[in-house]
Amino acid sequence: MKETSKIRKIAFVGDHLPRKCGIATFTTDLLAAVASAHPQSHCLAVSVNDIEEGYEYPEVVRFEIEEQNLSSYLRAADFLNISNVDVVCLQHEFGIFGGPAGAHILALLRELRMPVVTTLHTVLLHPNTEQRRVMDGLISLSTRLVVMAERGRQMLQEIYHAPLAKIDLIPHGIPDVGFVDPTYFKDLFGVEGKTVLLTFGLLSPNKGIENVLDALPAILAESPEVVYIVLGATHPNELREHGEAYRLSLEILAKKNKIEKSVIFYNQFVNIENLKEFIGAADLYITPYLNEAQITSGTLAYAFGAGKAVVSTPYWHAAELLAEDRGVLVPFGDSPAIAREVIGLLRDDTRRHAIRKNAYRIGRDMVWSNAAQMYMHSFESSRLELAARSRKFLAAKTLDQKPRELPTTRLSHLSRMTDSTGVFQHAIFSVPNFSEGYCTDDNARAFVLSVLLGELGEDPESARTLGTTSAAFLHHAFDPLTKRFHNHLSFDRRWLDEKGSEDSQGRALWALGTGVGRSPFRSFQMMAGQLFAAALPALTEFTSPRAWAFGLIGIHEYLRRLNGDSLVNQTQKALTCRLMKLFETNARPDWQWFEEELSYDNAKLPHALIVSGQATAQQGVLECGLQSLRWLTKLQMSEKGHFRPIGSNGFYRRGGTRANFDQQPIEAQATVSACLEAYRATSDPCWYEHAQRAFDWFIGWNDLGLELYSPESGGCRDGLHVDRVNGNQGAESTLAFHLSLAEMRLGQSILTSFSEPGTE
């Protein structure tokens, strides 16, 4: 293979050292192994940055991707195509790429002209909808798939229906080390004469270290010379979110168990040479992980291949690798079992050394030089398969095939419209109007926006600040006695109503449900969940269909994370039935609508049925939502093809005269959101086109050809009159634009990632 390979350039896409994560270590080691085994093939890396400043990469990293920037992935594809790369080797893990469930990487893959060999570091047994779509996309766009365990190959076939002929089983690569006595390395760490237990890897709460610490008192009672080394820095994501709280809790537990003299924490991310020394010093290696669904563990592979006796919980990789006396398995979270098995192995030298020898023997097939040869065989196969399929690629895309450029997110006006209390309702041009105070409606919208911006990874500090302020406002607005939200708050912080409108309650529930279902911040989830539970019962007493619709959308978001909540499920069912009954009562062949009048926030009604029907697998409900939205979008399209919402200066009563002005930004936002949901439900691109048409209303494709969004201020003007735009840039309008922009950005990632390639 080495002499005859026609592959001249290989690009490895994933993370790369010095970024601190397992994928970065794997990518770095795999690239180096392939480059060493096949010097005639030039190897380069394309790495994903999770921080704005990036990393000090070595020269082998030729291109850097901004994790949450979709266009950055497309630029990376251009770079790979222009560079005449022969094969791309993608390292896939859901958490390292941007977009819903990491969908941005699919946009890159769709643009590539060369074969793609994808290593799947995670194969999920129960993927959610977005994860399933990403996996299906990866399987479709990859020429070959690599898994590191037989269980992974079975799951790809049984769950994802991947062709068996497309899957390669290549074990996790490991360093080639000698089978040496641990005593040789112990003096390096000041543990000579000790029996060393070792766990290593980036620290986070799912590692289960506390279970070993709880097992140590019993182990030490039997073998006082034991010392437990925990090697590894805290995972960067854990560090950003919670600091060193987990490590501190482990230290406190060690003191509580009075074992602190037998526990050593090395809070560092070590290079491979240092790691070999740590592993070499270990008598036993322990992986007490808490989650069964781990198909690959690099730390396990390294220790196993070095000939260490391993005690592990039975996560998938361990259960497979340690079978047939190649290690010892203990139940999850079972400290007494850990103690029992460790003590048993330390007592039984013959068994322990037999396990070590079995592991070391199997490990010789896993060394990086062997893994490199197996990967090169997969690369060669991928080239032959792609050539056989005779795929044709276009060098460039015409304008209609390229994703639209969207405006840059600019939150400066929204920041000016927000103080420590909340978002002000109104503005005089671009100046906040203090005399009008604040309202729950707008702060609910602001909280939803903060969550969407968090998903996009845009301006995370501003997004979190906005989320914190608006969440605090919602919490203050809720009256625990009436179970209702106040709506209007004066500038001097007095509530101007005994209770807000039904619609404001619905919007608050929409926001809170979104916080529970989609916010990455635990504090937002907890606060939102408590308020949601307290405020939801009032919704069933309301008569406003829009309040029901907002509530149903909030329920849909809430159930993303907490779908076992029976009360919320019952409420969803009851409100869905009410909306369906309204439609059945009022709809006619020429009037496919829920009421006798089209008024405000119209698209929210079909939106609510689309998400509810899709989530509950009620095809009739989904079809009703799509049918009414189809009718509405047709009604809201001008003869010139642009979006023309129902005007608020009279609305549109059945059989009456339609008001064409004043056109409101909330109508465009509601239509953008509903049409994108219809696109997600059907994959029909016409819905994305309707969403784009409604969004373009903000930026000048409307009856007057005037921009409502001001890129200079970052605000949105309050409406389109018959002869002009309303120059005031209030909160409702500005939030409507930014919600639309955020949803279009999320929708564009789906369109770019999942659209059918037009070049096959």
Question: Of 759 and 506, which is predicted with more confidence?
Answer: 506
pLDDT at 602 over 60: yes
Residues 6+ apart with CB under 8 A from 275: 175, 200, 231, 302
- The β-bridge partners of 748 are none
Identical fold for domains 9-173+369-392 and 183-365, yes or no, is: yes
- The β-bridge partners of 710 are 715
- Identify the residue whose tokens are 């409100």: 575
pLDDT at 708 over 60: yes
User: How does pLDDT run across 201-228, given as a tens digit for each residue?
Assistant: 989 998 999 999 999 999 999 999 999 9
CA 702, 707, 711: angle at the middle one, nearest 5? 150
b/e 59-98 (16+ beta carbons within 10 angstroms → b): ebbbbbbbbbbbebbbbbbebbeeeebbbbbbbbbbebbb
Distance CA 232, CA 348 (A): 29
Distance CA 433, CA 424 (A): 7
- Listed range (517-526, 544-553, 683-692, 747-756) with the worst mean pLDDT: 747-756
Report whether CATH 3.10.129.10 matches the domain 9-173+369-392: no
Q: Hey, which CATH number is domain 587-749, 1.10.10.10, 3.30.1330.10, 1.50.10.20, 3.20.20.480? A: 1.50.10.20
Distance CA 628, CA 606 (A): 6
The model's confidence at residue 130, banded by pLDDT at 50, 70 and 90, is: confident
The pairing of strands 226-231 and 144-147 is unpaired
Distance CA 508, CA 514 (A): 10
SS (H, E, C) 77-131: HHHHHHCCCCEEEEEECHHHCCCHHHCHHHHHHHHCCCCEEEEECCCCCCCCHHH
pLDDT at 662 over 80: yes
Distance CA 412, CA 611 (A): 32
User: How does pLDDT run across 330-379, given as a tens digit for each residue?
Assistant: 999 999 999 999 999 999 999 999 999 999 999 999 999 999 999 999 99
pLDDT of amino acid 739: 98
pLDDT at 457 over 80: no
Find, among 5, 7, 6, 11, the residue nearest to 83 by Cα. Answer: 11
The model's confidence at residue 758, banded by pLDDT at 50, 70 and 90, is: very low
pLDDT of amino acid 399: 44
**HSE, side-chain direction, 13 A CA sphere, residue 76:** 31
The total of other beta-carbon atoms located within 10 Å of residue 597's CB is 14
As to burial, measured by CB atoms within 10 angstroms (0-12 exposed, 13-18 middle, 19+ buried), residue 657 is exposed
Distance CA 404, CA 748 (A): 8
Distance CA 214, CA 339 (A): 9
How far apart, in Å, do the first and last CA atoms of the chain sit?
Answer: 31
pLDDT of amino acid 389: 57
CA–CA distances in Å: residue 201 to residues 1, 15, 282, 492:
35, 16, 15, 53
Query: Are 318 and 335 contacting, i.e. CB atoms less than 8 angstroms apart?
Result: no
The model's confidence at residue 63, banded by pLDDT at 50, 70 and 90, is: very high
22-37 and 298-305 are packed helices; what angle lies between their axes, rounded to 10 degrees?
Answer: 50
Distance CA 68, CA 63 (A): 15
**Cα 156 from chain centroid?**
21
- Listed range (225-239, 382-396, 553-567, 728-742) with the worst mean pLDDT: 382-396
pLDDT of amino acid 245: 93
Residue 682's region, left for phi above 0, alpha for psi from -120 to 50, else beta, is: alpha
pLDDT of amino acid 1: 39
Cis preceding-peptide flag for 662 (omega within 30 of 0): yes
Distance CA 735, CA 414 (A): 8
Query: Are 219 and 342 contacting, i.e. CB atoms less than 8 angstroms apart?
Result: yes
**Cα 326 from chain centroid?**
36
**What CATH number belongs to 183-365?**
3.40.50.2000
The pairing of strands 263-266 and 226-231 is parallel
The total of other beta-carbon atoms located within 10 Å of residue 722's CB is 12
**Cα 160 from chain centroid?**
20
pLDDT at 262 over 80: yes
% of residues, the chain, pLDDT over 90? 84
User: How does pLDDT run across 411-434, given as a tens digit for each residue?
Assistant: 999 999 999 999 999 999 999 999
Tokens (6 digits) for 27: 């990518």
Cα-Cα-Cα-Cα torsion 280, 28, 54, 408, nearest 10 degrees, comes to -140
The total of other beta-carbon atoms located within 10 Å of residue 581's CB is 11
Residue 562 one-letter amino acid: L
Question: Of 413 and 685, which is predicted with more confidence?
Answer: 413
pLDDT at 760 over 80: no
pLDDT of amino acid 400: 52
pLDDT at 148 over 60: yes
User: How does pLDDT run across 731-756, given as a tens digit for each residue?
Assistant: 999 999 999 999 999 888 766 666 55
Find, among 704, 608, 606, 686, the residue nearest to 647 by Cα. Answer: 704
pLDDT of amino acid 3: 45
Instruction: Please state the domain extents for the chain.
Output: 9-173+369-392, 183-365, 587-749
Distance CA 383, CA 216 (A): 53
Instruction: Kindly tell me the number of DSSP H helices and DSSP E strands found in the chain.
Output: 27, 25
pLDDT of amino acid 394: 39
pTM of the model: 0.71
User: How does pLDDT run across 292-310, given as a tens digit for each residue?
Assistant: 988 999 999 999 999 999 9
pLDDT at 403 over 90: no
As to burial, measured by CB atoms within 10 angstroms (0-12 exposed, 13-18 middle, 19+ buried), residue 494 is exposed
3-class state of residue 286 by DSSP: strand
pLDDT of amino acid 390: 44
pLDDT of amino acid 458: 72
**HSE, side-chain direction, 13 A CA sphere, residue 439:** 20
For the residues 655-673, what does the mean pLDDT come to?
Answer: 97
Distance CA 187, CA 193 (A): 9
